[in-house]
């Protein structure tokens, strides 16, 4: 017996209805705001993620599904299942010269992502993300719209109680001072930090703040470290940008709180970063995360292009929303003449009705039982009905019956 791979899940039965609802809501909300769907391949050159997500991230260092195509061309041979979609969308943006269209260029996506992680509640190896990417706008209106889209999408699936956590990482210039201060204040504790944080200390010290290790968390509680974290290192331009974002959010009545520990797990963010968390999800509580990444397009070979986006975990969202119940069919055809039942179903479906029929010539009582389970009305199709083209239609909740010409 071959089973599904660890960390992957089949989506079955009525759950698929809820998944469809999530996708339909996403399409409606994003298209109403002029976002176009983008579908990029689920595998890309490994190099894209190394450069695009960042060499010092957990995603690239520990979680990548990388394999060789076995091709002779060395440059082509290492590919990776996408762990996230921003890198792929940016690649497509550059490759298709989308920057030639007038900005903003706005995209949304839905699809599976792959990370080699320890499976647990809220953490799978194949999971799904919905996300948006908005290119070409430096104005803080873009940050605010991105956050608004996340909240509007969540509202459209009935989740309207999640607060946004907000922070600013500044620009590469002002971040340098922040990085140095963090390094300095953490230096005496270097031995006590977890192994990952020892590496982060060298490569990307800000991300130490993202560490989930209890011992590291305790160290961050120390007064002198707190002081550095709570200090604002951002330059006047970045501070102004952040103020504007907050002003826009206030005007939209979007609730947020500042979380100075929020740095996000990816290397490419600058200025605004945000996360939307739920307190009913246990320890994997982040539903949505994103921010501004003004340097990424250039880093991947395009022209300098400001950009902002986010990604939302669909499995975690699924846990939060009311499930969509199965709907009954309009009709179930009960008949000993499958060829006629099939033709009647075809005609009814063409008229926009939902219907099904018994394909196995089962006993009348069995067919009627099935009809009562799956449909609102049974159509009894006997010899006489076939000849005269009228039908006996039984209301399965009241039991009443009438003769009808349905077509």
Integer angstrom CA distances of residue 327 from 150, 330, 355, 369: 29, 9, 12, 17
Q: Which two tokens stand for residue 175?
A: 């971040």
Question: With respect to ligand ATP, which residue has the nearer C-beta, 104 or 289?
Answer: 289
Q: How far is the CB of 61 from ligand ATP (least distance, A)?
A: 12
Given the complex with ligand ATP, which of 91 and 316 has the nearer CB atom? 316
Task: Based on the shown chain and the rule CB under 6 A, indicate whether residue 112 belongs to the binding site for ligand ATP.
Answer: no
Q: How many residues bind ligand ATP (CB under 6 A)?
A: 18
**DSSP letter at 132?**
E
Span interacting with ligand ATP, options 10-18, 31-39, 115-123, 201-209, rule CB under 6 A: 115-123
Pick from 8, 23, 66, 284: which binds ligand ATP (CB under 6 A)?
A: 284
Minimal distance, residue 341 CB to ligand ATP, in Å: 44
Question: Quick check: 152 binds ligand ATP (CB under 6 A)?
Answer: no
Residues 71-90 close enough to bind ligand ATP by CB under 6 A: 84
Rounded Cα gap, residues 75 and 64, in angstroms:
18
| Residue 242: strand, helix, or coil | helix
What lies within 8 Å, CB to CB, of 358 at 6+ separation is 332, 333, 334, 335, 338, 341, 366, 367, 370
**Would strands 126-135 and 105-114 be described as parallel, antiparallel, or unpaired?**
antiparallel
Instruction: Give Cβ neighbours of residue 174 (< 8 Å, ≥ 6 apart).
Output: 233, 234, 235, 238
What is the DSSP pairing of strand 36-37 with strand 105-114? parallel
Nearest-CA neighbor of 274 among 253, 256, 249, 294? 256
CB of 320 to ligand ATP, least distance (A): 11
> Helix, strand or coil for residue 84?
coil
Tell me: does residue 292 bind ligand ATP (CB under 6 A): no
| Cβ distance to ligand ATP smaller for residue 289 or 306 | 289
User: Of 145, 267, 315, 358, which one interacts with ligand ATP (CB under 6 A)?
Assistant: 315
> At 78, which helix (H) or strand (E)?
strand 78-81
- Residue (of 163, 95, 103) closest to 308 by Cα position: 103
Nearest CB to ligand ATP, comparing residues 273 and 355: 273
Q: Does residue number 288 form part of the binding site for ligand ATP (CB under 6 A)? A: yes
Pick the closer one to ligand ATP by CB: 61 or 284: 284
Q: To the nearest whole angstrom, how small is the minimum distance from the Cβ of residue 16 to ligand ATP?
A: 18
The reply on whether position 287 binds ligand ATP by CB under 6 A is yes
d(CA 9, CA 15): 12
| DSSP symbols for 259-298 | -TT---S-TT-EEEEEEEE-TTSTT--EEEEEEE-TTHHH
Which CB sits closer to ligand ATP, 124 or 335?
Answer: 124
Q: Which of 296, 312, 299, 245 is nearest to 272 (CA)?
A: 245
Nearer to ligand ATP, 310 or 332 (CB): 310
Q: Which of 311, 344, 355, 380 binds ligand ATP (CB under 6 A)?
A: 311
121-140 positions binding ligand ATP, by CB under 6 A: 122-124, 127, 129
Please identify, among the stretches 18-26, 280-288, 341-349, 389-397, the one whose residues bind ligand ATP according to the rule CB under 6 A: 280-288
- Closest-by-Cβ residue to ligand ATP is 313
Of the listed pieces 284-292, 297-305, 352-360, 393-401, which binds ligand ATP according to CB under 6 A?
284-292
Under the binding rule (CB under 6 A), the answer on residue 265 touching ligand ATP is yes
CB 293 to ligand ATP: min, Å: 12
In the complex, which residues of this chain contact ligand ATP (CB under 6 A)? 84, 115, 117, 122-124, 127, 129, 265, 284, 286-289, 311, 313, 315-316
């Amino acid at each position: 017996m071959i089973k599904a791979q660890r960390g992957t899940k089949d989506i079955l039965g009525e759950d698929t209805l809820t998944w469809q609802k999530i996708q339909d809501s996403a399409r409606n909300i994003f298209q109403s705001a002029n976002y176009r769907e983008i579908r990029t391949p689920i595998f890309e050159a490994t190099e894209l993620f190394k450069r695009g997500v960042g060499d010092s991230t957990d995603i690239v260092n520990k979680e990548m599904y990388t394999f060789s195509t076995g091709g002779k061309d060395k440059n082509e041979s290492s590919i990776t299942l996408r762990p996230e979609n921003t890198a792929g969308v940016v690649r497509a943006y550059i490759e298709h010269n989308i920057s030639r269209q007038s900005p903003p260029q706005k995209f949304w996506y839905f699809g599976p992502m792959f990370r080699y992680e320890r499976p647990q509640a809220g953490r799978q190896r194949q999971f799904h993300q919905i996300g948006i990417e908005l290119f070409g706008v430096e104005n803080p209106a873009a940050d605010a719209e991105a956050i608004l889209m996340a909240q509007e999408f969540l509202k459209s699936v009935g989740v309207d109680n999640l607060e946004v956590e907000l922070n600013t990482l500044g620009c590469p210039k002002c971040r340098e001072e922040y990085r140095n201060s963090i390094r300095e204040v953490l230096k005496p504790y270097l031995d006590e930090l977890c192994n990952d944080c020892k590496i982060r200390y060298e490569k990307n010290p800000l991300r130490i703040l993202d560490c989930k290790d209890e011992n590291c968390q305790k160290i961050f509680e120390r007064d002198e470290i707190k002081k550095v974290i709570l200090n604002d290192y951002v330059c006047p331009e970045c501070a102004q940008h952040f103020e504007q974002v907050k002003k826009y959010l206030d005007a939209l009545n979007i609730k947020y709180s500042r979380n100075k520990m929020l740095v996000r797990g990816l290397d490419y963010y600058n200025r605004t970063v945000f996360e939307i968390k739920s307190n009913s999800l246990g320890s994997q509580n982040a539903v949505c995360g994103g921010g501004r990444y003004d340097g990424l397009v250039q880093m991947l070979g395009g022209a300098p292009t400001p950009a902002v986006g986010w990604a939302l975990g669909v499995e975690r969202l699924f846990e939060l929303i009311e499930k969509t119940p199965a709907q009954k069919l309009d009709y179930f055809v009960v008949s000993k003449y499958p060829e006629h039942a099939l033709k009647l179903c075809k005609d009814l479906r063409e008229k926009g009705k939902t219907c099904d029929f018994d394909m196995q010539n089962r006993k009348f009582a069995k067919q009627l039982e099935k009809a009562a389970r799956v449909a609102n009305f049974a159509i009894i199709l006997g010899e006489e009905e076939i000849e005269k083209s009228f039908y006996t239609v039984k209301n399965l909740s009241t039991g009443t019956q009438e003769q009808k010409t349905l077509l």
